[in-house]
Amino acid sequence: MNTRPLLPQGAELLHPPTRNKVYISLLLAFALTLLPWMEQIRWLVPDFTLMVLLYWNIRAPRIASLGTAFSLGLLTDVARGVVFGLNALAYCIATFIVLLLQRRLEGFDVPRQSLQLSPILLGKEVLVLALGLAMGRGDADWRWLAAGIVAALLWPLLAWLVDRITAQAPASRQTPL
């Protein structure tokens, strides 16, 4: 039986996420995504912006909403020089799914969240690749799907790091039945 209270308790009340914490962490993740990664490993680099966005969709859904996802997606499109709206659409779909499952996801511990989020993270890469190919982007490569798998594997580390940087209480350890 899930013994997690319906309302935040203890440390969650002491350090609620603020807009500044959320937006600064999203900007740092965006900067990390845009780093000039070596060409040989660029296809393995996950979308850190999406990962942090999904983290905040679970922890602070009223702050990190669909509008935030759309804005970050458009910024990513402009920065990467891809079809305008491609990442915005992918971010919005991923955010919508996570917001639908938010209450369920926040009840899981971090490794189980990783398992739950892995189809979404991989699905984002599949969507961007498929739409890119459909819209005539000839440089698409199936190796880019590995970034979704790497993102799922890095989820526990990212969640731990964002928890520490933003002084958030660690994710719940109980799992719902």
Amino acid at 82: V
Task: Tell me the pLDDT band of 112, cut-offs 50, 70 and 90.
Answer: very high
Per-residue pLDDT reduced to its tens digit, 1-14 = 556 666 666 665 55
Confidence of residue 150 (pLDDT cuts 50, 70, 90): very high
Confidence at residue 167, expressed as pLDDT on a 0 to 100 scale: 72
* pLDDT at site 144: 75
Residue 101's domain spans which residues?
Answer: 16-165
Q: Residue-wise over 105-132: b if at least 16 C-beta within 10 A, else e?
A: bbbbebeebbebbbebbbebbebbbebb
Mean pLDDT along residues 64-93:
93
In a domain, 40, yes or no: yes
Question: Considering the domain boundaries, does residue 58 fall inside one?
Answer: yes
CA gap 43, 141 in Å, rounded: 9
Q: To the nearest whole number, what is the mean pLDDT of the chain?
A: 86
Contact 79, 86 (CB under 8 A): no
Report the chain's C-alpha Rg in angstroms.
16
Q: Would 11 be classed as within a structural domain?
A: no
Q: Is residue 153 part of a domain?
A: yes
> Is residue 5 domain-resident?
no
For the chain, what is the domain count?
Answer: 1
- Across the range 15-42, mean pLDDT stands at 90
Residue 9 lies in a domain: no
Position 24, amino acid: I
pLDDT tens, position by position, 35-60: 998 888 888 999 999 999 999 999 99
Q: Pick the residue with more confidence: 84 or 140?
A: 84
What pTM was estimated for this model as a whole?
0.85
Provide mean pLDDT across the span 147-159. Answer: 94
CATH number of residue 105's parent domain: 1.10.1760
